[in-house]
Each structure stands twice: as structure tokens, then as C-alpha cells.
Amino acid sequence: MSGATARLKLGVSYEGSGFHGWARQKDASLRTVQQELEEALSLVLRCPVQLVVAGRTDAGVHASGQVAHADVPVDCLEQRSLAGQPQRLVRRLSRLLDTDVRLTSCAFAPPGFDARFSALSRTYEYRVSTDPSGPLPTRRLETGWWPRQLDFSILNDVAQRLTGLHDFAAFCKARPHSTTIRDLQFFHWEDISTPSEPGLYRARLRADAFCWNMVRALVGASLKCADGRLDLDAVPGLLTEHQRSSLVPLAEARGLTLVGVHYPPDEELASRAAVTRKRRNSLID
């Protein structure tokens, strides 16, 4: 054994309704994306594998563009079926994993890459139906339900007022040693209704990072304003609060999908990770 390690960059997708979120739980009987992937990778590579992820999604939330990394001994990649080519893990894992989770890509990571700390932003989409009968059955696992009529124009009025660098404490579950100040870079709603799916809307949100439950709370606040139960003029005041607000509901988890993680050019990966770590450590200190 040479002792040398290599960092792998992995692309991951999953349909989240059957998982208790991304992160491993103390109760190993609870099914999580991290546990399933780590166990499958460890089996194929014949060594323990620990994943670091860009976005720790909650129970019931999906991902089509999740990114993770793992440091593995180079010798583990030299077995006959892999021949030193990490991309071969994609086919190997497709035979081991259940159909609701997939390793979509695997490659040697560029120098300085960290799936979590090198990221510039994460992008989510939220799909919601207001049809009184509920979401189309064939799309029910990826579509939230809000059984009230909406004023569509108000959705983007709310989104515009929330976009920017703010303290989103009113929209987040607090975590120890973490900040609720986030840069919400983009928030926009579209009407994507069709004859088979009337009253269907999609939100797209991008931020440097999101707090726990933040996306679902932003969506819930927008929908509550658009159905007339929350005054639009109350939105700026929510950004001055310092704890989770009871005025802001959580939209259902099933409508939410992590669709992408954006990184800087390769030559800036290490410096971006250093800046992010420094900011996090300053909050803990």
C-alpha cells in the first residue's frame, strides 16, 4: 500500500421521499442518502469512505445536481474493475444502489476542491400545485400542494423584497454557532401551468448558502402573501427579526429539489474554500 490518497468529486441525484435527508443519523435504521452512498462506495473500493457534501438536504427533499467529495487511498482505485479510473464507479454503483439514488459522475477533483467550502452558490427549484384536486399523480413526489388560489403577481413582489444580503433568522431554524445572514442572489417565480397541470408554479432560488429550512420558508412566505393571508408590507419587517417567525409557514418538502452547485474556476477553488472556512471559524470563535 502506497499510502497516497486522491480526492474524488462526485455528482449525485436522488428522489428524496424515501430518505430521512442527506446526513447519516444516529439511528442507523433510518435511511439516508449519505449512508447508502458511503456503504456502496466502501463495498466497491474495499476501504472506508466518508463523503463531504455541498448541500445537506432535509428529509423528503430531492436533488438532481448534488455534489460531494471523498478522499480515498489511490490503491483502492487500482483494482481490476476500476483500473485507476474513478468514472467507472458510476456503472459499478448503478448495480448496487436502489433506483431512487444515483451516482451520476465521478472524477479526480481539481487541486484545492472542497465540495462544501469551495462552492460559490447553491440553486434550488420548488414546484407547487394549487389545483384543488392536488398535484398530478405522476408528479406527486416532486410537487408540493398549496390548496388556495394565488395572485401570481404577488409571488414575484415578495421574491424581489427578499432578494439580497439579509438576516434570514425569521425564515430559519437556528443552529448553534451558525449565522442566519445569507446572500439571496436570485429568487423568481414562473407560471408553468399546462392543461394537465393547471395552477402550477415553479420558484428558482440561488444563494451563497441556505440555512436549515430556509428555502421552504421563503416559498411558504411567498405563497401565504399571494393567497392573501400575509400582508405584503409585512415582508420587510420579517428581515429585521432575530428568531424564527410564526408568521412564516414551511412549504412541503416534496416540492423542493437541489438542482445545482456553482464553483469558481479551478485556480480559485482553494482560496474560495479558505475564505469560507475563515468566515465559519470566526462565527464559532
Taken as a whole, the chain contains a residue count of 285
Q: Give CA–CA dist 57/100, Å, rounded.
A: 15
Evaluate whether 158 touches 222 at the Cβ level (below 8 Å).
yes
Pick the catalytic residue from 27, 58, 98, 131: 58
The C-alpha cell 407547487 sits at: 128
Alpha-helical regions (H) of the chain: 33-45, 88-94, 152-162, 214-226, 235-238, 269-284
Partners of 189 in the beta sheet?
203
Which residues, including other chains, have CB under 8 Å from residue 128's CB and lie 6 or more apart?
A: 143, 144, 145, 146, 200, 201, 202, 203, 219, 223, 251, 255
Which residues, including other chains, have CB under 8 Å from residue 168's CB and lie 6 or more apart?
A: 180, 181, 182, 184, 211, 214, 218, 239
58 has catalytic annotation: yes
Query: Residue 201, annotated ligand binder?
Result: no
Active site residues: 58
Sequence ranges of the binding site for substrate:
124
Sequence ranges of the binding site:
124
